Amino acid sequence: MTDSKETLFEKYLSPLFQHVLLDQNALMAYYRGKDWEAESDRLRNPTIQYPDYYESQNFHGIKGGYLNLQAALTYDAVTQYFLPPNEAWVRQDLLRHIRCQPRRIVDLGCGTGSTTLLLKQAFPDAEVIGIDLSPYMLVAAADKAQAAQLDIRWIHGNAEQVPFPDNSVDLVTASLLFHETPLAATQAILKEALRLLCSGGEMLVLDGSQSTLRNTLWLTQIFEEPYIQDYAAGSLDAWMGAAGFGDIRTEPVWMLHQVTRGLKPLSYQRIQFETPTIAAEWVPG
C-alpha cells in the first residue's frame, strides 16, 4: 500500500478540499452537533466482521477509510465535486432506468444515503432499505432521511450477506460501490443481489464509466481508490452475466459515469404436455 502522503490526492486534492472547497465551519458544526459514538452505536451491529479490503485500506486520503468518522463528515461535501456535471442529475439517471414498481428496494453500500433518499421519494409506498458497512455513514444517512421526513430502514451490514430471504426484493441498487470493492467482493455482492431479487426483479448499478476510466488512467491515479484500476479494466456487464443476470445493458451517463441494468431471469418450469389421445371413432371430416 502506498503511503498516503505520497499520493497525488494527499499532495494536491486534500489541501484544495480542506482550504478552498469545503465549508469547514459547517462541517465542524455538524461534527459538534451530535454524539457520533452514541448514535453510531445505536446502528452498529456488533457481530459484523469487516472484510479485509475494507478495514485495511485508505479511501480518498482518509486513513481507515469509511470506518473513520471523518469519511462520513466530509463525504457529501466532497462527492458533489466528483459527479459532474451535477450530482443530482447523475443520481437521477439511475432512477430513470427503473422499469418496475418496486414494493421492496435494497440499496447496497448506501453510504450517506443520497441515492437511497431519491429512491424513497420516487417510490413512497415501497419499503426502502439502505445497507452499509460504516455505522458513521449510516448516522449521516439517517440524519438526511429524518430531515426529509422519509421512512427508510438503515442496516449496518455487509452487502455480501444481506439479512433477507431469497426472492424477497424487487429492486436492488448500488451506486458508486463497485469501484471501491475488489473483484472477489464485487462478484459476491452481485450473487447476493441475484439471490435477494424476485424473478424478473431489477438490479441497477451507477458508477464511474469503465470505458472512460480505462482511457484516462491518470484520473484513477489522482484519487486514493485502491481498487479503481481493476474496476476500470473490467466489465460490469461481464460480472453481472457471470453472477446470473440477464438482459444486461450499460448506458453512459454524462460520459464519465455509467448505469448498468440487469434482470433476474424469470424462473421457468418445465411443462409436461399430455399426449392427446385420439378417440378411436374420430374420423377427420
Ligand X SMILES: C[S@@+](CC[C@H](N)C(=O)[O-])C[C@H]1O[C@@H](n2cnc3c(N)ncnc32)[C@H](O)[C@@H]1O
- Provide the β-strand partners of residue 263: 202, 246
- Strands 169-175, 153-156: pairing kind: unpaired
What would the x/- binding string for ligand X be over residues 196 to 225, using CB under 6 A? ------------------------------
Q: Work out how close the CB of 12 gets to ligand X at its nearest, in angstroms, rounded to a whole number.
A: 20
Q: Which strand (E) or helix (H) includes residue 108?
A: strand 104-108
106 binds ligand X per the rule CB under 6 A: no
Find the residue with minimal CB distance to ligand X.
Answer: 111
**Spatial contact of 260 and 237, defined as CB atoms under 8 Å apart:** yes
Select the residue interacting with ligand X from 78, 110, 155, 169 (CB under 6 A): 110
154 binds ligand X per the rule CB under 6 A: no
Select the residue interacting with ligand X from 181, 209, 220, 250 (CB under 6 A): 181
**In sequence order, what are the residues at sequence separation of 6 or more whose Cβ sits closer than 8 angstroms to the Cβ of residue 271?**
none
57 binds ligand X per the rule CB under 6 A: no
134 binds ligand X per the rule CB under 6 A: yes
Select the residue interacting with ligand X from 66, 123, 227, 245 (CB under 6 A): 66
Number of residues engaging ligand X in binding (CB under 6 A): 23
**In sequence order, what are the residues at sequence separation of 6 or more whose Cβ sits closer than 8 angstroms to the Cβ of residue 56?**
1
- Provide the β-strand partners of residue 202: 171, 263
133 binds ligand X per the rule CB under 6 A: yes
69 binds ligand X per the rule CB under 6 A: no
CB nearer ligand X, residue 110 or residue 248:
110
CB nearer ligand X, residue 81 or residue 266:
81
**In sequence order, what are the residues at sequence separation of 6 or more whose Cβ sits closer than 8 angstroms to the Cβ of residue 50?**
67, 133, 158
160 binds ligand X per the rule CB under 6 A: yes
Select the residue interacting with ligand X from 7, 74, 175, 220 (CB under 6 A): 175
114 binds ligand X per the rule CB under 6 A: yes
Check residue 153 and give left, alpha or beta (phi > 0: left; psi -120 to 50: alpha): beta
CB nearer ligand X, residue 137 or residue 193:
137
192 binds ligand X per the rule CB under 6 A: no
Q: Determine the Cα–Cα distance for residues 30 and 230; give it in Å rounded to an integer.
A: 35
Q: Identify residue 116 by its one-letter amino acid code.
A: T
How big is the chain by its Cα radius of gyration, in Å? 22
Select the residue interacting with ligand X from 109, 208, 226, 262 (CB under 6 A): 109
228 binds ligand X per the rule CB under 6 A: no
The DSSP code sequence of 241-275 is HHHT-EEEEEEEETTTEEEEEEEPPPP-----PPP
Closest to 70 (Cα-Cα) out of 113, 132, 7, 22: 22
Q: Determine the Cα–Cα distance for residues 259 and 241; give it in Å rounded to an integer.
A: 15
CB nearer ligand X, residue 116 or residue 250:
116
Contact footprint for ligand X (CB under 6 A): 51, 54, 66, 79, 109-111, 114-115, 131-134, 137, 158-160, 175-177, 180-181, 185
